[in-house]
Structure 1
């Protein structure tokens, strides 16, 4: 009684790309540094496996040709052999458990649960040319601002932490949430969460600085997908990532982006070099200036004309404002805090629980599939379920759970 696909889109397969968009179109959205660094990762992985295979073969031959041969691989070689042999199984196992945990603990984004977010998910999947709308969940964030995309087999899913999903109170910005969903769906469309891609990049990701550079390139690529879906939410998302869900609309994102140019120095360069995600100031600069891709190693060099309220932190401390100068400036600043409060106001509207507001509906999203307890009562055969009863229930009252 499983669902029989009626979609004109081809089914997801393990060895196929999730997106149906032409490769040229997807590559146009990729960061130009992603493919070169990806090829470097593949070369490292092939070298590790080839070196391990040669070592095992030569050791096996030596067992029969060398007198008193004792097989004692070095600690590093032994670790690489064990990791290489068990890495595919470990990746499969971890991804399967993670998806299972989301399915039994997360709040699923659906047409009747967070329908606004589900519409964003549908729009993102359509814009990215995905074969199917990915699964999506909201999980408790405990203060963390985060979201990620992953997969298991031919399934793909995204997870948004509740604190990022809220973008809450009066500071709520739906376009920022749409950008975030588009960003995560972009990871799926670009192939970043594919099983075999993870296998062939795992060794490279462990190399300090180099693996992080590939990761940053992939994040810029996903940002391009998010920008294509929701350009109006791009800069606001940088405000969320920088100051949190309540102060998103209080962040001057132009000032944030400008600092990517002014904050120079060896340690700022080194700090960015080993980050899995581009620095927020660099990401904001790349999303504001679409004439060039985001920087991976060296900071941006140019800003549009924009007045500075403070001397950049990279300047010598002697050039910073002293308390008297700062007091005089604030006394004459035209947008005084009383008229332009940037601390934000948190307001939440009281609403009845969703189960008291939502109409009970039948399983009509996927044609041809019905719950196990309803099978045998209706002949689905690809036809839609009967309309809901007058009392709003989409099920036979005698067979409700």
Structure 2
């Protein structure tokens, strides 16, 4: 696909967002507002205390990070790495940013990455030095990386974080929005660097590093998406905040178009998730239904209060009258049998209990007991 960008004379460049970003942001916002409303109503407003505490914690964490940048990273400026500062300033002007973001070069133990962040109204772009080294003399690839981070600032992706936090952290929904933002910023990077092939190289540097980037077969790399076209891999992609690099390169690749587009992985992923939901409901229900039919567990479960025990029908009812007669005549075994055979809390049970425990000289008492 080609990147659609426009800018009139003296006007800021406009780049069309990725197709799903705005609908997903609306969904994230609505979901977040519903969650906040439910929390406020359910806690009678006490949730605001926790929100304030979380906001203070996040602010302190961000403040510590900014202090780390200002004290340890290298600030690019007119007198410090001016070639990088000039590119950031030029690309920021093209994008329509009101001020040039403070740009820091940070050593990160070999990590190939860059990021955009902010504190209050201050905007920051952080470029990892190993990524700049991997770009080498390829200034177009470097511009793609810088432009991608400027795209985050220009698109407002860092705004309203606390308000939209419930939706952003919601699996599938928040991650889908994050991936859409990445595609949008890739469009910004490609538009600002002005070279589609160079934009692809900027992404390929993240995959192959400096030594291998120019030797990567772009078409073959894009085809690697086929390895992700399974149910479980698709679910993992949906749970990821970042699209696979092969998919991002694919989205920027006009000569090849979209080589790999398959519905097999998503269909399998949906089938897996529906199966998991069905099993989550069916297995506990089946266990509850089966427990009463397992004699060894019936008493245990009933004693725990999980299930009521239905008394089993006595298929061979005892001859209570015969046991009563024998018990009256002094047969202690008949009295014991009567006690166990009679219904619970019945007069027959009481008679069997009283006479079964008698001593030889109270036969007349049992014989005269009426019920």
In the alignment, which of 25, 37, 42 is matched to residue 24 of structure 2? Answer: 37
**Structure 1 residue aligned with 2:85:** 118
The aligned counterpart of 2:244 is: 279
* Aligned-residue offset at 1:56: 3.1
Q: 1:166 aligns with which of 112, 133, 145?
A: 133
User: Which of 144, 152, 159 is the matching residue for 1:179?
Assistant: 144
Would you say 1:240 and 2:205 are equivalent positions?
A: yes
Q: 1:174 to 1:29 in 2, by over 3 A?
A: same
- Once the two structures are TM-superposed, the CA of residue 202 in structure 1 deviates from its matched residue by 1.7
User: Which residue of structure 2 aligns with residue 189 of structure 1?
Assistant: 154
Q: How many angstroms apart in 2 are the aligned matches of 1:179 and 1:94? A: 29
1:85 corresponds to: 52
Q: Report what 1:139 is aligned to.
A: 106
Matches for 1:222-261 after TM superposition, within 5 Å: 222-230=185-193, 231=195, 232-260=197-225
- Which residue matches 2:254? 289
Deviations 1:110-138 (A, max 9, x none): 12222221121012101110001110001
Residue 194 (structure 2) pairs with residue 207 (structure 1): no
Q: Distance in 1 between the 2:11 and 2:83 partners? A: 25
For structure 1, list consecutive stretches of 5 or more residues without a partner in the other structure. 1-19, 61-77, 303-401
Q: Secondary structure at the match of 1:213?
A: helix
Distance 1:100 1:177, change over 3 A: same
8 Å CA contact retained: 2:229, 2:262 = no
Question: Structure 1 residue 264 and structure 2 residue 229: aligned?
Answer: yes
Tell me the TM-score normalised to structure 2 length.
Answer: 0.62
For the pair shown, which has the larger CA radius of gyration, 1 or 2?
2
CA contact (8 A) 1:182 1:229 kept: yes
Report which of the two has the higher share of helix: 2
CA distance in 1, matches of 2:212, 2:91: 26
Q: 1:87–1:199: 8 Å Cα contact kept in structure 2?
A: no
Gaps of 5+ in 2: 1-9, 264-371
How many Å apart are 1:290 and its aligned residue? Answer: 8.9
Task: State the TM-score, normalizing by the size of structure 1.
Answer: 0.57
Q: Deviations over 1:142-171 (max 9, x none)?
A: 011111000011110010111112116xx6
Does structure 2 retain, via aligned residues, the 8 Å contact 1:138–1:162?
yes
Partners of 2:61 and 2:107 in 1: CA distance: 20
Q: 1:224 to 1:172 in 2, by over 3 A?
A: same
- Number of paired residues? 252
SS in 1 for 2:210: coil
Residue 101 (1) aligns with residue 68 (2)? yes
Q: How far is 1:105 from its partner?
A: 0.7
Which structure would you say has the larger RCO, counting Cα contacts within 8 Å and 6 or more residues apart? 1
